[in-house]
Structure 1
Amino acid sequence: MTHPKVGIGVIIHRDDGKILVGKRKGSHAPYYSIPGGHLELGETFEQTAIREVKEETGLTISNPQVIAITNNLRTYREEGQHFVSVVLVAPHGGDTPVNCEPDKCEGWQWVDPTRLPQPHFDASEQSIACYLSGNHYLSQSER
Protein backbone atom coordinates (compact mmCIF):
# COMPACT_ATOMS: atom_id res chain seq x y z
CA MET A 1 0.00 0.00 0.00
CA THR A 2 1.61 3.25 -1.12
CA HIS A 3 -1.20 5.66 -0.24
CA PRO A 4 -4.44 5.70 1.76
CA LYS A 5 -7.62 4.34 0.22
CA VAL A 6 -11.18 5.58 0.69
CA GLY A 7 -13.62 3.64 2.83
CA ILE A 8 -17.31 4.30 3.37
CA GLY A 9 -19.07 3.70 6.69
CA VAL A 10 -22.83 3.92 7.20
CA ILE A 11 -24.55 4.59 10.50
CA ILE A 12 -28.08 3.28 10.14
CA HIS A 13 -30.30 4.40 13.00
CA ARG A 14 -33.82 3.54 14.10
CA ASP A 15 -36.34 5.84 15.77
CA ASP A 16 -35.39 4.40 19.17
CA GLY A 17 -31.77 5.57 18.68
CA LYS A 18 -30.25 2.14 18.14
CA ILE A 19 -27.76 1.66 15.31
CA LEU A 20 -26.83 -1.38 13.24
CA VAL A 21 -23.52 -3.19 13.78
CA GLY A 22 -22.17 -6.55 12.72
CA LYS A 23 -19.32 -8.78 13.84
CA ARG A 24 -16.77 -9.11 11.05
CA LYS A 25 -15.18 -12.32 9.81
CA GLY A 26 -12.12 -12.45 7.56
CA SER A 27 -11.14 -8.85 6.85
CA HIS A 28 -11.14 -6.81 10.09
CA ALA A 29 -12.09 -9.81 12.25
CA PRO A 30 -12.96 -10.15 15.11
CA TYR A 31 -14.17 -6.55 15.29
CA TYR A 32 -17.73 -5.24 15.37
CA SER A 33 -18.47 -2.53 12.82
CA ILE A 34 -21.14 -0.47 11.12
CA PRO A 35 -21.87 -1.52 7.51
CA GLY A 36 -19.51 -0.19 4.87
CA GLY A 37 -16.87 -0.91 2.31
CA HIS A 38 -14.69 0.60 -0.37
CA LEU A 39 -15.49 3.50 -2.65
CA GLU A 40 -15.40 2.25 -6.24
CA LEU A 41 -14.19 4.33 -9.17
CA GLY A 42 -16.88 6.68 -10.44
CA GLU A 43 -19.23 6.19 -7.46
CA THR A 44 -20.56 8.93 -5.23
CA PHE A 45 -20.31 8.47 -1.46
CA GLU A 46 -24.09 8.08 -1.36
CA GLN A 47 -24.14 5.42 -4.09
CA THR A 48 -21.47 3.44 -2.26
CA ALA A 49 -23.39 3.68 1.03
CA ILE A 50 -26.64 2.45 -0.55
CA ARG A 51 -24.86 -0.36 -2.41
CA GLU A 52 -22.80 -1.58 0.55
CA VAL A 53 -25.78 -1.57 2.95
CA LYS A 54 -27.87 -3.56 0.46
CA GLU A 55 -25.03 -6.02 -0.26
CA GLU A 56 -24.24 -6.62 3.41
CA THR A 57 -27.61 -6.38 5.18
CA GLY A 58 -30.34 -6.63 2.54
CA LEU A 59 -31.72 -3.32 3.85
CA THR A 60 -32.63 -0.45 1.56
CA ILE A 61 -31.66 3.02 2.70
CA SER A 62 -32.39 6.30 0.99
CA ASN A 63 -30.88 9.74 1.12
CA PRO A 64 -27.78 8.95 3.22
CA GLN A 65 -26.01 12.11 4.39
CA VAL A 66 -22.26 12.62 4.85
CA ILE A 67 -21.58 13.56 8.47
CA ALA A 68 -17.89 12.88 9.15
CA ILE A 69 -14.48 11.67 8.05
CA THR A 70 -12.09 9.42 9.93
CA ASN A 71 -8.38 8.75 9.57
CA ASN A 72 -7.96 5.10 10.54
CA LEU A 73 -4.44 4.96 11.91
CA ARG A 74 -5.05 2.17 14.45
CA THR A 75 -5.96 -0.13 11.55
CA TYR A 76 -2.82 1.00 9.74
CA ARG A 77 -0.67 0.14 12.77
CA GLU A 78 -2.40 -3.23 13.28
CA GLU A 79 -2.95 -4.37 9.68
CA GLY A 80 -0.75 -2.17 7.50
CA GLN A 81 -3.83 -0.86 5.65
CA HIS A 82 -4.42 2.90 5.74
CA PHE A 83 -7.95 4.07 5.00
CA VAL A 84 -9.61 7.43 5.25
CA SER A 85 -13.32 6.84 5.71
CA VAL A 86 -16.28 8.97 4.74
CA VAL A 87 -19.13 8.45 7.20
CA LEU A 88 -22.77 8.70 6.22
CA VAL A 89 -25.91 8.45 8.30
CA ALA A 90 -29.33 7.17 7.24
CA PRO A 91 -32.56 6.56 9.14
CA HIS A 92 -34.31 3.22 8.85
CA GLY A 93 -37.55 1.74 10.07
CA GLY A 94 -35.67 -1.01 11.85
CA ASP A 95 -36.44 -4.04 9.71
CA THR A 96 -34.53 -7.18 10.56
CA PRO A 97 -31.28 -7.20 8.58
CA VAL A 98 -30.21 -10.26 6.65
CA ASN A 99 -26.64 -11.54 6.82
CA CYS A 100 -26.10 -11.44 3.05
CA GLU A 101 -22.35 -12.11 3.29
CA PRO A 102 -21.92 -14.86 5.90
CA ASP A 103 -18.29 -15.32 4.82
CA LYS A 104 -17.59 -11.70 5.89
CA CYS A 105 -19.94 -11.20 8.85
CA GLU A 106 -21.28 -13.32 11.71
CA GLY A 107 -24.54 -11.33 11.82
CA TRP A 108 -26.14 -7.94 12.41
CA GLN A 109 -27.73 -6.45 15.51
CA TRP A 110 -29.33 -3.19 16.63
CA VAL A 111 -27.34 -1.70 19.55
CA ASP A 112 -27.23 1.38 21.76
CA PRO A 113 -24.46 3.57 20.24
CA THR A 114 -23.28 4.53 23.72
CA ARG A 115 -22.67 0.87 24.62
CA LEU A 116 -20.86 -0.61 21.64
CA PRO A 117 -19.96 -4.29 21.59
CA GLN A 118 -16.23 -4.90 21.82
CA PRO A 119 -13.76 -5.20 20.26
CA HIS A 120 -14.85 -2.47 17.86
CA PHE A 121 -13.27 -1.59 14.50
CA ASP A 122 -11.30 1.67 14.47
CA ALA A 123 -13.20 3.41 11.64
CA SER A 124 -16.57 2.38 13.06
CA GLU A 125 -15.71 3.48 16.59
CA GLN A 126 -14.48 6.87 15.33
CA SER A 127 -17.57 7.24 13.12
CA ILE A 128 -19.95 6.61 15.98
CA ALA A 129 -18.00 9.00 18.24
CA CYS A 130 -18.41 11.73 15.59
CA TYR A 131 -22.12 10.89 15.25
CA LEU A 132 -22.71 11.08 19.00
CA SER A 133 -20.69 14.28 19.50
CA GLY A 134 -21.99 16.08 16.41
CA ASN A 135 -18.43 16.64 15.18
CA HIS A 136 -17.33 15.95 11.63
CA TYR A 137 -13.83 14.89 12.73
CA LEU A 138 -12.13 13.97 16.00
CA SER A 139 -8.36 14.32 16.26
CA GLN A 140 -6.28 11.68 18.04
CA SER A 141 -6.23 13.86 21.17
CA GLU A 142 -10.03 14.15 21.25
CA ARG A 143 -10.62 10.38 21.39
Structure 2
Amino acid sequence: MENNTNIGDPTPEPRVAVVVFLLKGRSVLLGRRRSAVGNATYALPGGHLEFGESFEECAAREVKEETGLEIGKSEFLTVTNNVMLEQPKKCHYVTIFMRSVMGVDVEEEQVPQNLEPNKCDGWEWYEWDHLPHPLFGPLERMVKGGFNPFS
Protein backbone atom coordinates (compact mmCIF):
# COMPACT_ATOMS: atom_id res chain seq x y z
CA MET A 1 0.00 0.00 0.00
CA GLU A 2 1.30 3.43 -0.98
CA ASN A 3 1.77 5.92 1.83
CA ASN A 4 0.65 9.30 0.54
CA THR A 5 1.33 12.04 3.09
CA ASN A 6 0.00 14.70 0.70
CA ILE A 7 -3.60 13.54 0.67
CA GLY A 8 -5.75 16.40 -0.59
CA ASP A 9 -2.68 18.25 -1.89
CA PRO A 10 -1.39 16.21 -4.84
CA THR A 11 1.75 17.28 -6.68
CA PRO A 12 0.64 19.02 -9.88
CA GLU A 13 1.56 17.23 -13.09
CA PRO A 14 3.59 19.00 -15.78
CA ARG A 15 1.47 20.39 -18.62
CA VAL A 16 2.37 21.39 -22.17
CA ALA A 17 1.64 24.93 -23.33
CA VAL A 18 2.03 26.37 -26.82
CA VAL A 19 2.53 30.13 -27.06
CA VAL A 20 2.96 32.31 -30.12
CA PHE A 21 5.27 35.19 -30.90
CA LEU A 22 2.81 36.89 -33.26
CA LEU A 23 4.89 39.45 -35.15
CA LYS A 24 3.85 42.55 -37.09
CA GLY A 25 6.72 44.71 -38.29
CA ARG A 26 8.98 45.04 -35.23
CA SER A 27 6.08 44.53 -32.81
CA VAL A 28 4.79 41.53 -30.88
CA LEU A 29 1.25 40.90 -29.59
CA LEU A 30 0.96 40.74 -25.79
CA GLY A 31 -1.96 40.56 -23.38
CA ARG A 32 -2.15 41.33 -19.65
CA ARG A 33 -3.02 38.10 -17.80
CA ARG A 34 -5.91 37.60 -15.39
CA SER A 35 -4.92 34.32 -13.81
CA ALA A 36 -3.75 32.62 -10.63
CA VAL A 37 -0.46 32.10 -12.47
CA GLY A 38 1.29 35.28 -13.59
CA ASN A 39 -1.62 37.59 -12.76
CA ALA A 40 -1.22 41.16 -14.15
CA THR A 41 1.86 40.23 -16.22
CA TYR A 42 2.14 40.59 -19.99
CA ALA A 43 2.22 37.36 -21.97
CA LEU A 44 1.99 35.92 -25.46
CA PRO A 45 -1.23 34.36 -26.72
CA GLY A 46 -1.36 30.60 -26.20
CA GLY A 47 -2.64 27.77 -24.10
CA HIS A 48 -2.72 24.05 -23.45
CA LEU A 49 -1.83 21.53 -26.13
CA GLU A 50 -4.80 19.23 -26.69
CA PHE A 51 -4.60 15.49 -27.28
CA GLY A 52 -3.52 14.65 -30.84
CA GLU A 53 -2.90 18.28 -31.79
CA SER A 54 0.23 19.49 -33.59
CA PHE A 55 2.09 22.53 -32.24
CA GLU A 56 1.00 24.47 -35.35
CA GLU A 57 -2.66 23.50 -34.91
CA CYS A 58 -2.57 24.48 -31.24
CA ALA A 59 -0.94 27.83 -32.05
CA ALA A 60 -3.60 28.70 -34.66
CA ARG A 61 -6.48 27.53 -32.42
CA GLU A 62 -5.31 29.39 -29.32
CA VAL A 63 -4.64 32.66 -31.19
CA LYS A 64 -8.09 32.42 -32.81
CA GLU A 65 -9.84 31.62 -29.49
CA GLU A 66 -8.12 34.41 -27.57
CA THR A 67 -7.77 37.20 -30.16
CA GLY A 68 -10.00 36.33 -33.12
CA LEU A 69 -6.94 36.62 -35.38
CA GLU A 70 -6.38 34.12 -38.18
CA ILE A 71 -2.71 33.25 -38.40
CA GLY A 72 -0.99 31.58 -41.30
CA LYS A 73 1.99 29.32 -41.09
CA SER A 74 3.74 29.17 -37.74
CA GLU A 75 7.16 27.76 -37.01
CA PHE A 76 8.79 26.21 -33.98
CA LEU A 77 11.31 28.49 -32.20
CA THR A 78 12.29 26.87 -28.91
CA VAL A 79 11.04 25.03 -25.83
CA THR A 80 11.47 25.95 -22.16
CA ASN A 81 10.96 24.04 -18.92
CA ASN A 82 9.17 26.27 -16.39
CA VAL A 83 8.71 25.17 -12.80
CA MET A 84 6.82 28.00 -11.09
CA LEU A 85 6.88 27.41 -7.35
CA GLU A 86 6.56 31.09 -6.39
CA GLN A 87 3.06 31.37 -7.87
CA PRO A 88 -0.08 31.18 -5.68
CA LYS A 89 -0.92 28.09 -7.74
CA LYS A 90 2.30 26.09 -8.12
CA CYS A 91 2.73 24.69 -11.62
CA HIS A 92 5.15 23.14 -14.07
CA TYR A 93 4.89 23.88 -17.80
CA VAL A 94 6.86 22.66 -20.76
CA THR A 95 6.33 25.62 -23.07
CA ILE A 96 6.59 25.37 -26.84
CA PHE A 97 7.35 28.78 -28.40
CA MET A 98 6.12 29.28 -31.96
CA ARG A 99 6.42 32.26 -34.33
CA SER A 100 3.91 33.54 -36.84
CA VAL A 101 4.02 36.73 -38.89
CA MET A 102 0.90 38.76 -39.64
CA GLY A 103 0.60 38.99 -43.42
CA VAL A 104 1.22 42.37 -45.00
CA ASP A 105 -0.69 41.41 -48.17
CA VAL A 106 -4.04 41.13 -46.39
CA GLU A 107 -6.60 43.58 -47.80
CA GLU A 108 -8.21 44.29 -44.46
CA GLU A 109 -5.93 44.45 -41.44
CA GLN A 110 -7.02 42.15 -38.65
CA VAL A 111 -7.43 43.78 -35.25
CA PRO A 112 -7.00 41.65 -32.11
CA GLN A 113 -10.11 41.30 -29.96
CA ASN A 114 -10.25 40.30 -26.32
CA LEU A 115 -12.37 37.15 -26.64
CA GLU A 116 -11.54 35.84 -23.14
CA PRO A 117 -11.95 38.88 -20.86
CA ASN A 118 -12.00 36.63 -17.79
CA LYS A 119 -8.42 35.56 -18.64
CA CYS A 120 -6.95 38.71 -20.23
CA ASP A 121 -7.32 42.49 -19.93
CA GLY A 122 -6.79 42.97 -23.67
CA TRP A 123 -4.29 42.61 -26.53
CA GLU A 124 -1.90 45.26 -27.82
CA TRP A 125 1.05 45.42 -30.20
CA TYR A 126 4.32 46.36 -28.48
CA GLU A 127 7.60 47.32 -30.13
CA TRP A 128 10.19 44.66 -29.29
CA ASP A 129 12.58 47.31 -27.91
CA HIS A 130 9.82 48.81 -25.70
CA LEU A 131 8.05 45.89 -24.05
CA PRO A 132 5.64 46.51 -21.16
CA HIS A 133 6.38 45.44 -17.59
CA PRO A 134 6.08 43.15 -15.81
CA LEU A 135 6.43 40.34 -18.35
CA PHE A 136 5.20 36.81 -17.57
CA GLY A 137 8.09 34.87 -15.98
CA PRO A 138 8.97 32.47 -18.84
CA LEU A 139 8.87 35.31 -21.40
CA GLU A 140 10.86 37.63 -19.12
CA ARG A 141 13.62 35.03 -18.71
CA MET A 142 13.87 34.64 -22.49
CA VAL A 143 14.03 38.41 -23.09
CA LYS A 144 16.66 38.90 -20.35
CA GLY A 145 18.63 36.00 -21.87
CA GLY A 146 18.84 37.90 -25.17
CA PHE A 147 16.26 35.89 -27.12
CA ASN A 148 14.97 37.72 -30.19
CA PRO A 149 11.98 36.30 -32.12
CA PHE A 150 12.84 38.49 -35.12
CA SER A 151 16.20 36.84 -35.85
TM bin, normalised by shorter chain, reads 0.7 to 0.9
TM-score (norm 2): 0.78
Please tell me the residue identity of whatever aligns with 1:52: E
Pick aligned residue for 1:55 from 53, 65, 84:
65
How well do the aligned residues superpose, as a CA RMSD in angstroms? 1.9
Measured in 2, the distance between the counterparts of 1:10 and 1:120 equals 15
Offset, 1:107: 0.4
User: Runs of 4 or more off by more than 6 Å in structure 1?
Assistant: none
Matched residue type, 1:123: P
Shift of residue 72 of structure 1? 1.6
1:75-114 correspondence runs (5 A)? 75-78=84-87, 79-93=89-103, 95-114=110-129
Contact 2:18 2:96 in 1 (8 A): yes
Contact 1:70 1:127 in 2 (8 A): no
Q: Where in structure 2 are there 5+ consecutive unaligned residues?
A: 1-10, 104-108
- After superposition, residues 1-143 of structure 1 pair within 5 angstroms as 1-14=11-24, 16-27=25-36, 28-73=38-83, 75-78=84-87, 79-93=89-103, 95-127=110-142, 129-132=146-149
| Percent sequence identity over aligned pairs | 36
Aligned residue identity for 2:30: V
TM normalised by structure 1 equals 0.82
Task: Report the AA paired with residue 21 of structure 1.
Answer: L
Q: Which residue identity lines up with residue 70 of structure 1 in the other structure?
A: T
Is the 8 Å Cα contact of residues 70 and 84 (structure 1) preserved in structure 2?
yes
**Residues 63-86 of structure 1, C-alpha deviations (whole Å, 9 max, x = no match):** 10001111223x333241010100
- The structure with the largest alpha-carbon Rg is 2
**Where does the alignment leave 5 or more consecutive residues of structure 1 unmatched?**
135-143
Aligned length in residues = 132
Per-residue CA deviation, residues 23-78 of structure 1 (Å, 9 max, x unaligned), is 011343111101010111111111100000000000000110001111223x3332
Deviation at 1:133, TM superposition (A): 8.2
1 or 2, which has the higher helix percentage?
Answer: 1
Q: Secondary structure at the match of 2:118?
A: coil
Aligned partner of 1:139 in structure 2 is: none
User: Contact 1:72 / 1:82 at 8 angstroms: preserved in 2?
Assistant: yes
Q: Quick check: 1:87–1:127 contact (8 Å CA) kept in 2?
A: no
Report the alpha carbon displacement of residue 131 of structure 1 after superposing the two structures with TM: 3.1
Mapped partners of 1:95, 1:70: distance in 2: 30
**More strand, by proportion:** 2
Cα contact 2:22–2:102 (8 A) shared by 1: yes
